[in-house]
Amino acid sequence: MLVQTDSRRRITLPSSAGIRPGDAVSIEVMEDGRVVLTPVEPVPRQQMWAWTAEARKAVAESLADRRPSEIIETPAQADDLARRWTDEG
């Protein structure tokens, strides 16, 4: 598909691109001059910790953990569970 820029270097994307007005888009200009648009979902700054490599690894490991879930209601129960799980390792 061929599109032309207007006087402000803007282009109009077809609706089939799936990008709606107000969507956030990452723009990457490649070394060969190609421009890559990638739709993104902005993450609030206070939630960025969850997107670190360490946090993502911890979540993946916890999802792979076969131990049964337990409901923890008191600090003593949490300490007991941590002690049991530490002894398993």
pLDDT (tens digit per residue) in 23-81? 999 999 999 999 999 999 888 999 988 889 999 999 999 899 888 888 999 999 999 98
Kindly state whether residue 70 falls inside one of the protein's structural domains: no
Kindly state whether residue 53 falls inside one of the protein's structural domains: yes
- Contact between 24 and 41 under an 8 Å Cβ cutoff? The reply is yes
Judge if pTM exceeds 0.85: no
Q: Which amino acid is at 20?
A: R
Kindly state whether residue 72 falls inside one of the protein's structural domains: no
Task: State which H helix or E strand residue 26 sits in.
Answer: strand 24-29
Count of domains for the chain: 1
Strand, helix or coil at 38? Answer: strand
Residue 55, domain extent? 40-64
Kindly state whether residue 24 falls inside one of the protein's structural domains: no
- Contact between 39 and 25 under an 8 Å Cβ cutoff? The reply is yes
- Beta-bridged to residue 37, according to DSSP, are 27
Residue with tokens 């060969």: 32
Kindly state whether residue 5 falls inside one of the protein's structural domains: no
